[in-house]
Amino acid sequence: MSEPILDIQGLTKIYPGGLKALDDVDLQIRQGEIFALLGPNGAGKTTLIGAVCGLVRPTSGTIRAFGHDMASDWRHARGRIGLVPQELATDMFEPVYRAVAYSRELFGLAPDKARIEEILRSLNLWDKKDERIMALSGGMKRRLLIAKAMAHEPDLLFLDEPTAGVDVELRKGMWQLIGAMRERGVTVILTTHYIEEAEEMADRVGIISRGRILKVDDKASLMRQLGRTEAHIALANPLSALPPAIASFPVELEQGGTSLCYRGGDGTGKGKAEVAQLIKALVDESIDFTGIDTRESSLEEIFVSLLGEKEVAA
Ligand SMILES: Nc1ncnc2c1ncn2[C@@H]1O[C@H](COP(=O)(O)OP(=O)(O)OP(=O)(O)O)[C@@H](O)[C@H]1O
């Protein structure tokens, strides 16, 4: 594997007052990936992003970005990093175009009208370019945050809960946008409470809770290790015992013998194939059924089982 674009080792942050928001975090981010940092409220996601972006001073540990140590050589790397914060901290009277152009200039880049126009158009904000920020809708303000973070053409983009509190339509739009950034070669790290978002977007997922990274893995591999298929087959006539041809499957009779429940597979599709075989076996045995309900376990169940407690934010 080539050198990671971001290499975090032993990162700990203890806030004044003694709260340990990050506890010995190791994390390596690969060039070009979309990495989702998934965790409940207060897990330390924003603190982690803040530490990389120079907003939070680590208590201990090292952060290297693009091969530069962020403690001693911050300037080199900071210009290549973009941050989309959770909330706008900007002059609400400022017009949209000016706000984005200013974000670029802050990083010492020459003004580039064509580039700013391209960014605003890609975010559907071009026709709002002369509006004051205060006149934008919530969704537009979110897109403006992204425009501001893109203005200096970062190679590594942090999105801190990009879709928290936005409606389904807009969330899908955001996902498309993030996908488009990846196509341009931008490495994206996003934090989210939404398992669905990690499932939809990410190449890899890191699960964080109480300042500790519990697991980092390819999304597909997470599903393979922990995913399961569950199928409930409603039987036309109750069975008192499993016929031998059926008993070889990982099945149980439930609800007084009226429901045959399959639990198996490993998240690779093996479960679905086995359910198909089970159905054929039922037909061969002339066991009639009236309905089949199949589902794959979601990242949500994996998440909950890893946390081992019900602290997952809604
Ligand atoms: N400036 C600060 N001073 C003291 N404690 C802080 C400060 N900022 C954050 N914390 C605490 O550190 C912990 C981690 O907070 P952080 O904002 O990093 O979590 P998060 O995972 O981003 O949460 P959320 O999903 O709610 O945004 C929390 O307990 C929070 O209260």
Domain coordinates in residue numbering, the chain? 6-80+154-224, 228-296
Nearest atom (ligand 1) to Cα of 39: 21
Rounded CA separation 24/100 (Å): 36
Which tokens belong to 159? 């999105």
Rounded CA separation 275/42 (Å): 40
SS (H, E, C) 20-54: EEEEEEEEEECCCCEEEEECCCCCCHHHHHHHHCC
CA angle, 120 as apex, 129 and 93 as ends, to 5°? 35
Beta bridge partners of 290: none
pLDDT band per the 50, 70, 90 thresholds, residue 313: very low
Sheet holding 156-160, edge to edge: 81-84, 156-160, 187-192, 34-38, 204-209, 212-218
Distance between Cα 31 and ligand 1 center (Å): 27
**CA nearest ligand 1 atom 12, residue:** 21
pLDDT band per the 50, 70, 90 thresholds, residue 52: very high
**CA nearest ligand 1 atom 17, residue:** 46
Nearest atom (ligand 1) to Cα of 50: 18
Q: Which of 14, 15, 20, 193 to mutate to test the pocket of ligand 1 (most atoms within 8 A of CB)?
A: 15
Distance between Cα 254 and ligand 1 center (Å): 45
ipTM of the complex as predicted: 0.96
pLDDT at 33: 94
- Asked if residue 300 lies in contact with residue 195, where contact means CB atoms within 8 angstroms, the answer is yes
- Model pTM score: 0.76
Nearest atom (ligand 1) to Cα of 19: 5
Task: Tell me the average pLDDT of the chain.
Answer: 87
- Asked if residue 50 lies in contact with residue 41, where contact means CB atoms within 8 angstroms, the answer is no
Within this chain, domains 6-80+154-224 and 228-296 share the same CATH topology:
no
Rounded CA separation 89/101 (Å): 16
- Asked if residue 65 lies in contact with residue 73, where contact means CB atoms within 8 angstroms, the answer is no
**CA nearest ligand 1 atom 24, residue:** 41
Beta bridge partners of 27: 8
**H-state helical runs in the chain:** 45-52, 74-78, 96-106, 113-122, 138-150, 168-183, 195-201, 219-226, 244-247, 270-284, 299-307
Angle at which helices 113-122 and 138-150 cross, to 10° = 140
Q: Which residue has the higher pLDDT, 38 or 189?
A: 189
pLDDT at 275: 93
Q: In the CATH hierarchy, which fold is given to the domain comprising 228-296?
A: Alpha-Beta Plaits (3.30.70)
312 pLDDT higher than 60: no
Q: Which of 19, 57, 83 to mutate to test the pocket of ligand 1 (most atoms within 8 A of CB)?
A: 19
**CA nearest ligand 1 atom 29, residue:** 42
pLDDT band per the 50, 70, 90 thresholds, residue 267: low
Rg (the chain; Cα; Å): 24
> Which CATH number is 6-80+154-224 given?
3.40.50.300
pLDDT at 263: 86
Nearest atom (ligand 1) to Cα of 15: 4
pLDDT at 73: 84
Pocket lined around ligand 1, Cβ cut-off 6 Å: 15, 17, 19, 21, 39, 41-47
Distance between Cα 173 and ligand 1 center (Å): 28
65 pLDDT higher than 50: yes
82 pLDDT higher than 60: yes
Distance between Cα 24 and ligand 1 center (Å): 16
**CA nearest ligand 1 atom 2, residue:** 15
- Asked if residue 111 lies in contact with residue 99, where contact means CB atoms within 8 angstroms, the answer is no
